[in-house]
């Protein structure tokens, strides 16, 4: 099965492609067509090990370019689309919601439209799959004591980012119901691991800690999040793609819930052992509480019972061991962080340009 993976040069998308190709084996003939616009969040260096692999075809382009997507689907005889492409940083969505609407909503609709026309033209609707990667944030803030969200929980997005993802989810379901497109949706909790953009909490904290700068803590730091290693997330998406039932959705979570403050203190503790500071100082002394994010949700949580019971998926990384290995990766790859930070500052493209014409 040839795949079209959107946003494949990003953090989660690149790990998915890497694990998919390694799982298929070097002798497999199935291709992964990696469509990525290469904004500040996508970097071809994330897939350097597959740069010359004929199974990996990179195409720089926009998911909103319906003509390009249609051509790729036909040319490569695509049997499934895995949609990772998204504007995903909540702070950026607060500063400027428009790029999130363009990419996450309009871009997803155009991708769906191209997929629907491809299935109609080839008669392959029954075997085709459109897997859309969503987020726990569409379910909104869960008060303490309320059970984790399930696949049937009501949507209650509370940030422009979450609202744009919720809208995209509704479009995916609508195309499944109206046109018979075989769609799948996955929700995931917070991811961590190698190659994550340093604007996200864990790599940002590590970067600032190592540079001796203040490590910002939003508000009181008691916001609760679940943390999932990116490799476990990629494996879950593979499981859903291969065995998930069309029209269904699956929540992916580790159940490892910490407050942001607890997480940052754990990171500091691990760093204290790996790279001790002079004079017995502790990295936790660099934690500084700053003004909270507007509308900051207190708690997200997902119940992974469905994917575990139906598809047999389980996490393979404990949080402490996963964080420990993640810190080791960043400490041994300072050039990656430097290059990504330089590209981030050089690029002001947040998807603010006009979408390609239909």
Active site members: 136-137, 161
Closest CA to 285 of 178, 208, 350: 208
229 neighbors 315 (Cβ within 8 angstroms):
yes
β-bridge partners, 250: 186
Q: Is the dihedral of CA 84, 85, 91, 97 positive or negative?
A: negative
CA distance 231 to 241: 15
Q: What angle do CA 42, 45, 49 make, to 5 degrees?
A: 130
Distance of CA 106 to the CA centre of its chain: 18
CA distance 26 to 29: 8
CA distance 339 to 39: 14
Q: What angle do CA 191, 2, 188 make, to 5 degrees?
A: 15
């Amino acid at each position: 099965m040839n795949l079209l993976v959107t946003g494949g040069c990003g953090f989660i998308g690149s790990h998915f492609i890497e694990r998919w190709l390694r799982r298929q084996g070097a002798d497999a003939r199935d291709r992964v067509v990696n469509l990525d616009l290469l904004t500040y969040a996508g970097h071809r260096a994330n897939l350097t090990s597959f740069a010359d692999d004929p199974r990996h075809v990179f195409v720089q382009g926009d998911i909103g370019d319906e003509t390009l997507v249609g051509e790729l689907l036909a040319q490569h005889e695509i049997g499934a689309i895995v949609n990772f492409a998204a504007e995903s940083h909540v702070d950026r969505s607060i500063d400027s919601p428009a790029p999130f609407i363009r990419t996450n909503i309009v871009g997803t609709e155009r991708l769906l439209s191209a997929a629907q026309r491809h299935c109609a033209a080839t008669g392959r609707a029954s075997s085709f799959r459109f897997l859309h990667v969503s987020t726990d944030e569409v379910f909104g803030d869960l008060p303490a004591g309320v059970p984790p969200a399930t696949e049937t929980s009501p949507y209650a997005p509370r940030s422009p980012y979450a609202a744009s993802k919720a809208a995209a989810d509704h479009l995916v379901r609508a195309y499944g119901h109206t046109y018979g497109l075989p769609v799948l949706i996955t929700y995931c909790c917070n991811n961590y691991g190698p190659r994550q953009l340093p604007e996200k909490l864990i790599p940002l904290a590590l970067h600032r800690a190592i540079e001796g700068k203040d490590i910002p803590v939003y508000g009181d730091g008691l916001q609760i999040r679940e943390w999932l290693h990116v490799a476990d997330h990629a494996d879950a998406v593979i499981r859903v793609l291969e065995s998930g039932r069309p029209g269904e959705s699956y929540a992916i979570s580790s159940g490892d819930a910490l407050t942001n403050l607890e997480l940052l203190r754990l990171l500091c503790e691990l760093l204290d052992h790996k790279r001790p500071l002079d004079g017995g100082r502790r990295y936790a002394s660099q934690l500084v509480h700053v003004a909270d994010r507007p509308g900051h949700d207190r708690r997200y949580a997902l119940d992974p019972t469905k994917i575990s019971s139906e598809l047999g998926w389980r996490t393979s990384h404990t949080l402490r061991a996963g964080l420990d290995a993640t810190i080791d990766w960043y400490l041994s790859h300072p050039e990656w962080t430097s290059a990504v930070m330089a590209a981030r500052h050089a690029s002001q493209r947040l998807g603010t340009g006009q979408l390609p014409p239909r």
